[in-house]
Amino acid sequence: MRQLRFLQAMNEAYRQVMAEDESVMILGEDIRGGIRGETKGLHAAFGDDRVLDTPISEAAFTGFATGAALAGLRPIVQFQVPSLIYVAFDQLVNQAAKMRLMLGGQADLPVTYTIMVSGTRGGNAGQHSDNPYPYLVHAGFKVVCPSTAYDAKGLMIQAIREQDPVVFIASAMSLPHKGEVPEEIYTVPLGKGQVRRAGTDVTVVAVGHLVPEALAVAESLSEKRGISVEVWDPRTLLPFDRDGLLESVRKTGRVVIYDDTNRSCGYASEISAILGEHAFSSLIAPIKRITRADIPLPYNPDLEAAVLPSPMQLEQAICSVWSYSKS
Amino acid sequence: MSNILPPQMARKMYADMFRIRQFDIKVVELVDDDLIPGSCHEYCGQEAVAVGVCSALTKKDILTSTHRGHGHTLAKGGDVGKMFAELFGKSAGYNKGRGGSMHIADFSLGIFGANGIVGAGAPIACGAAHKFKAAGEPHVAVSFFGDGAINQGVVHEAMNLAAIWRLPVIFVCENNLYAMTTPLRDVTILELYERAQSYGMASTKVDGMDVGAVFDTTFSAVERARAGGGPSFIQCDTYRYFGHYSGERHMKTTYRTQQEIDEWKKRDPLDFWAERLIQGSICSAQDIERMKREVDEQIAEGVEYASQCPAPSPQDALEHMYAVNYPYTPAQGAEQ
Ligand SMILES: Cc1ncc(C[n+]2csc(CCOP(=O)(O)OP(=O)(O)O)c2C)c(N)n1
């Protein structure tokens, strides 16, 4: 099958949905220029009213999308880098996320927020390296975090078609990923995780760009130590596929969560809590979390590496939980 | 009196203003009787602004409102009973008891909702205006906000968006001279409307106690917007009679003098308009008394209706978060 890069898959999703549905529009900073590629060609194809380059006014263009959605459009709002959502936090958290409930369901908000280059690419320091999805899940947004080009296209199309606000996390480290992507329109459903590698000894829950790393660690441990690691990718963080995860953990009894957000109240904390509540009797080892440290990312590459979740930490954690034997 | 105002409309404006006045006087009473949970921001004194502006709009035009939103909603045609029901937190309320005073909305009337965050409605109005413009529909969006909101960055960002994209938006700044207890003069140097001029839009100041003047100014702004002429800013100088919110009555405040309040009350927008109507032989004193009686009956009926309709079931508390729910989402607070 044809192979596309993650960004090309996003671009194809944008194009196909915009061609199919006239109410879809996209706005953000430097969209028309499209230098990264995901918005390339959209302006030429869909014109001024549907492809908007905004001033550097995150709060206003986020609120603008809310108003456009309430009036019947289906906007995609692109944030150039993740930390810019903080500039628009009122419009996201107080307005868009709360609006439907506060209105008693009078109107829907079919808005998609694309968070570009999420996480670190190395050396971007504290303000350009966040993975802000725990905040967004906490606020009640539906959040998708694809790890493959296939999922990027399918989840993007599903996100745009949802009647509720959805955040699409485009992880920096996932962008170069290349994989098979069908040419036709298809969707990946929300709330359905996927077993990326089957195994029987340990379940690794890996989020977003950490999925390929987890797969590599799993392969190497299988070769080196004969440990059978299952790698499970939640794909969407809210809704979260609780049943899919429990199925895996009931089989393995051992879990390591591998997630690039803060240790305290990060996404791994939530998964860990779900497992503590619902998989207690299946667990034969303590749940382990490999996460970021609770600090902004330092600039120096060695310092940065010291606070990010690493394959080595993952490997150690897998071995540690594996040492608990089934009685 | 306005030149372009048909007599029937001029009469209706009086009734509309009186309805707002009586509604919020009733609200004060109901808050004191503990029938309304939470607090309300009464609109009394500013009626000419909401009514003057909304009289120049159609049902298809939309507005975004503020924390002090009862007046805007009523002026755009909001239903008294459904509003009281919302204030009581009932299922029959506009927002099914999920929003209360600060979030009342009626999408069938183009009321996109009151808002508890100062200035937050301005960009939302711009987004709706973009839809109208892109679809070639002749409607406009009105964003109401107070003098306090003029120092919110998002309002300025929104004015800039409206200007660069020539959106059919009308920014209505209700200058009641205070943001809570902070006098405008302490936080703002220029006249409010002068700031909007710097974005390259038509901007003007009007007597916000004169409903005819507010209507005339809004009418031209609406005409300009419908014709593709872009956004406008209207500063309406007005005054609120009550405290910032319903609770303030029970506090000792010193930020305004009684003398100042009394001075403004001499220019009461309802008395002013009644006088104009009678002088212009548009209606008689008896007509006005009859309108008032009708409004009073509506208010009484609205309260009666709202008290009798059922409260939502606590079992349904998680409803309306999403259009489409998924398993375990939204999550309950206790084990499912
Ligand atoms: C962004 C924001 N800051 C502060 C508040 C608290 N607050 C609510 S109303 C208000 C004063 C608003 O003044 P103004 O905009 O002039 O409206 P008015 O109350 O006079 O109608 C303040 C400070 C808020 N709701 N939102």
Pocket perturbation via mutation, ligand 1, pick of B145, B180, B245, B264 by most ligand atoms within 8 A of CB: B180
Residue of A nearest to B327 (CA): A239
Task: Find the helix packing angle between A149-161 and A6-20, rounded to 10°.
Answer: 30
Q: Whole-angstrom Cα distance, residue B131 to residue A107? A: 15
Tens digits of residue pLDDT in B248-259: 988 999 999 999
The per-residue pLDDT for B3 is 65
The per-residue pLDDT for B38 is 87
ipTM rounded to 2 decimals: 0.97
The mean of the pLDDT values for chain B is 97
CA Rg, chain B, in Å? Answer: 20
Whether A128 sits among the annotated catalytic residues: the reply is: yes
The per-residue pLDDT for A327 is 60
Q: How far, CA to CA in Å, does A154 sit from each of A157, A175, A274, B90, B289?
A: 5, 15, 27, 41, 65
Tens digits of residue pLDDT in B176-234: 999 999 999 999 999 999 999 999 999 999 999 999 999 999 999 999 999 999 999 99
Q: What is the pTM of this model?
A: 0.97
**Least CB-CB distance to A63: which of B95, B120, B324?**
B120
Q: Whole-angstrom Cα distance, residue A1 to residue A184? A: 12
Percent of chain B with pLDDT over 90: 96
**Relative to the CA of B184, which ligand 1 atom is closest?**
16
Query: What SS3 class is residue A10?
Result: helix
Mean pLDDT of B22-34: 96
Tens digits of residue pLDDT in A250-301: 999 999 999 999 999 999 999 999 999 999 999 999 999 999 999 999 999 9
Beta-bridge mates of residue B175:
B237
Which residues contact residue B263 at a Cβ distance below 8 angstroms, ignoring those fewer than 6 apart? none
| HSE, side-chain direction, 13 A CA sphere, residue B314 | 0
Tens digits of residue pLDDT in A129-158: 999 999 999 999 999 999 999 999 999 999
Q: How far, CA to CA in Å, does A289 sit from each of A262, B193, B289?
A: 11, 56, 73
Give the ranges where A205-310 is alpha helix by DSSP (H): 210-225, 242-252, 267-278, 301-307
Question: Residues B93, B86: contact at Cβ < 8 Å?
Answer: yes
**Nearest alpha-carbon partner for A150 in A176, A178, A169:** A178
Query: A263: burial class by Cβ within 10 Å (0-12, 13-18, 19+)?
Result: middle
Q: How far, CA to CA in Å, does B177 sit from each of B71, B211, B262?
A: 18, 18, 15
Residue nearest to atom 8 of ligand 1 (CA): B118
Beta-bridge mates of residue B141:
B62, B169
Best mutation target among A46, A48, A90, A101 (most B Cβ atoms within 10 Å) is A101
pLDDT(A34) > 90: no
Q: Whole-angstrom Cα distance, residue B269 to residue B48? A: 6
Question: Residues B158, B78: contact at Cβ < 8 Å?
Answer: no
**Contact: B97, A239; criterion CB under 8 Å:** no
Q: Whole-angstrom Cα distance, residue B108 to residue B62? A: 10
The mean of the pLDDT values for chain A is 97
The per-residue pLDDT for A325 is 85
Question: Residues B30, B115: contact at Cβ < 8 Å?
Answer: no
Mean pLDDT of B74-93: 98
Tens digits of residue pLDDT in A61-113: 999 999 999 999 999 999 999 999 999 999 999 999 999 999 999 999 999 99
The alpha carbon dihedral of A190, A195, A196, A202 has a sign of positive
The per-residue pLDDT for A100 is 98
The per-residue pLDDT for B66 is 98
Residue nearest to atom 21 of ligand 1 (CA): B146
Q: Whole-angstrom Cα distance, residue B71 to residue B66? A: 10
**Nearest alpha-carbon partner for A44 in A3, A11, A72:** A11
Best mutation target among B66, B131, B132 (most A Cβ atoms within 10 Å) is B131
Question: Residues B128, A67: contact at Cβ < 8 Å?
Answer: yes
Beta-bridge mates of residue A114:
A78, A168
Question: Residues B132, B168: contact at Cβ < 8 Å?
Answer: yes
Q: Whole-angstrom Cα distance, residue A268 to residue B8? A: 65
| Helices then strands, each counted (H, E), chain A | 12, 14
State how far residue B297 is from chain A, nearest Cα, in angstroms.
28
Tens digits of residue pLDDT in B91-132: 999 999 999 999 999 999 999 999 999 999 999 999 999 999
The C-alpha angle with vertex A314 and arms to A308 and A320, in degrees rounded to 5, equals 135
Question: Residues B93, B314: contact at Cβ < 8 Å?
Answer: no
